[in-house]
Amino acid sequence: MSLLATASMWIIPCLILVVLTIATAKRLPTYELFVDGGKEGIGLAISILPFLLGMLVSIAILRASGALDAIIGLITPFLSFIGMPADIVPLALVRPISGTAALGMTTELIATHGPDSFIGRLASVLQGSTDTTFYVLTVYFGAVGIRKMGDALKVGLLADVIGIMASIIVVTIIFGA
Amino acid sequence: MNYIWAIMAIGGIIYAMINGTMDEVNKAIFKSADDAVVLAISLISVMVFWLGITKIAEAAGLLKGLVRLAKPFIARLFPDIPKDHPAMGYILSNLTANFFGLGNAATPMGIKAMEEMKKLSGSPKASRSMITFLAINTSSLTLIPTTVLAVRMKYDSQSPTEIVSATLLASIISFIGAILIDRLFYEIRRRKERHL
């Protein structure tokens, strides 16, 4: 177990410890505050449900029909032509749309190519350095009832493109192809 | 968003008609609806827990302390938000949680940040700060990519954490990229409005 892996396990309990210690030292009604703040969470989670359900169903239809794979199949030759490793293209395309699908692909890439291979490392970095843009937008805008997203989707997706390119370049430089 | 949402479903269904995958689509509709409910329910536990802790941290003045630390940086990113506004505290705790790989703590705090930003703008349209906030969020600045580390350990990596520095570097680049793209789109919007 490395230092970082241990750190990731200690971090939440330690955070709770710090917050509670300071609050208690300040003689705050910690338990009441906790319950008070927590109450909001129930309503928020439920209010996100329709947004989440709508988005997940639409994405599921696209995936289950095979249309998503077909689109990926069409784009892959083009992207690998401009220098993107072919194995990684489907993951890069799915990452902003579906978090579960992307994690599934990352796991599969790591399983087949090995975690310490170029593809395995690249999949790891790509998975870790980008987020599911669709999910983030759905949840955050849904929770507060924003209907006009403005440029948010465009900006988010372009940021993903940069993240994907950055992952490929950084992994190539640090670990070699 | 309406278009994208509808096109994903319409495209999928038409594709299924042509390629005979209607059976899969039919199953997927209800399977994913179930998944969404499970996901939302599991969000309840995360939301209640973290919003509870956040409330204590807020009352203890810890969020304010966090804001004071990062003020010069964060005020520049969100020029529309008054410096002492509670939105700043939530935005920072969301970014901090993301940075340490606490994805499930980041979501409730991010939603609180959005609520505060909505109070500021008072409109159903996404405000400038919201777009900036989401751009930063989707680029996910991470020190500890928890999920990936778990997968790498599961498949016996010689060094599960060797990708940490690469991930951090890649996410810093996409973080900066997101901010620049966001600024660019903001400038384009402003120009357009001026011409109207």
pLDDT of the residue at A3: 67
Does B134 contact A4 at a Cβ distance shorter than 8 Å? no
The tens digit of pLDDT for each residue in A78-100 reads 888 887 888 898 899 999 988 88
Nearest to B105 by CA among B193, B40, B45: B45
The pLDDT confidence band at residue B181, using thresholds 50, 70 and 90, is very high
- Residues in chain B with CB shorter than 8 Å from the CB of A46 are 40, 44
Candidate from A48-52, B10-14, B69-73 with smallest mean pLDDT? B69-73
What pLDDT score was predicted for residue A1? 47
Query: Is any Cβ of chain A less than 8 angstroms from the Cβ of B150?
Result: no
The mean per-residue pLDDT over the stretch B136-155 comes to 83
A64–B16 C-beta distance less than 8 A? yes
Give the mean pLDDT of A125-154. 88
A62–B9 C-beta distance less than 8 A:
yes
Cα distance from N-terminal residue to C-terminal residue, chain B: 24
What sign has the CA pseudo-torsion B61, B62, B64, B69?
positive
Residue A171: phi and psi, rounded to 5, are -65, -40
Mutate to test the interface with B, among A17, A44, A113 (most CBs of B within 10 A): A44
The mean pLDDT value for B145-156 works out to: 85
Residue linked to tokens 């399983």: A111
Beta bridge partners of A148: B125
Band of the pLDDT at A177, cuts 50, 70, 90?
low
> Mean pLDDT over residues A2-16, rounded?
75
B59-68 residue pLDDT tens:
998 888 888 8
pLDDT digits (tens, 9 = 90+) for A14-65: 889 999 999 999 999 999 999 999 998 888 888 888 888 998 899 999 999 9
Q: Any CB–CB contact under 8 A between B18 and chain A?
A: no
By C-alpha distance, the chain B residue nearest A25 is: B60
Packing angle, helices A152-175 and A118-129, rounded to 10: 150
Task: Name residue, tokens 């090995």.
Answer: A114
pLDDT, position B196: 66
* B12 and A CB contact within 8 Å: yes
Q: Which of A143-152, B15-24, B118-127, B139-148 has the lowest mean pLDDT?
A: B139-148
CB contact at 8 A, B190 and B164: no
Flag whether the ipTM exceeds 0.90: no
Q: Where is pLDDT greater, at A61 or B39? A: A61
DSSP state of A29: -
What is the mean pLDDT of the segment spanning A103-122?
92
Residue B132: band (very low, low, confident or very high) from pLDDT cuts 50, 70, 90: very high
Categorize the per-residue pLDDT at B40 as very low, low, confident or very high, splitting at 50, 70 and 90: confident
What's the whole-model pTM score?
A: 0.85
CB pairs under 8 A between A and B: 358
pLDDT exceeds 80 at position B42:
yes
Check pLDDT > 90 for residue A77.
Answer: no
DSSP-assigned letters across all residues of B18-80: HHT-HHHHHHHHHHHHHHHHHHHHHHHHHHHHHHHHHHHHHHTTHHHHHHHHHHHHHHHH-TT
Nearest CA distance, B72 vs chain A (angstrom): 23
For residue B35, the distance in angstroms to the closest alpha carbon of chain A comes to 8
The CA-atom distances, in angstroms, between A49 and each of A57, B22, B23, B193 are 12, 26, 26, 35
